Structure 1
Amino acid sequence: MRMLVPALAALLLIASPAAAANAEGTITAVDPETLTIVLDDGKTYKLPGEIDMSAIKEGIDIVIAYDVVNGTNLITDMEIFE
């Protein structure tokens, strides 16, 4: 029984879903080949594959929701302020 509780706790931590988070800032770099943007906080975020890249430009203010999956910030939702 002593081993069951720590083993269950470890299993729950490993099987937990990706952590959701939010960020806002100004886009400082756009890479259409890798579908990534960099915000003024210095972090890189991966855009969804179905995005219209013509709306994504440097200097635009943006609010994003993202999940961290395998160390990559994957954007799940965003709002652009021009």
Structure 2
Amino acid sequence: VTEGSTAETAASDIDPDHTKIVIGTTEGDFADMVRNQVKGSLEAQGYEVELIPFTDYVRPNLALAEGDLDINIFQHKPYL
């Protein structure tokens, strides 16, 4: 949600044909969480899920900023 917008406007901007979710994460606990919990839940809702693993903590943010990912999951309290 961008500045000045609301959850309602953001929800109305969602592309109903966007059924593939590309998730970037580092290998290990986060990738396991996506594989073992998140992926099945999203696929049960009709989404196709692609996991892209990374070996560093910089490239997932770059890939997200460039639009290659829909979401990235790898940060934790010590990293932040």
Instruction: Quickly name the TM-score band, shorter chain normalised.
Output: under 0.3
Normalised by the size of structure 2, how large is the TM-score?
Answer: 0.23
Which structure has the highest strand share of the two? 1
Which structure has the highest helix share of the two? 2
Q: Which has the higher contact order (CA 8 A, sep 6+)?
A: 2
Normalised by the size of structure 1, how large is the TM-score?
Answer: 0.22
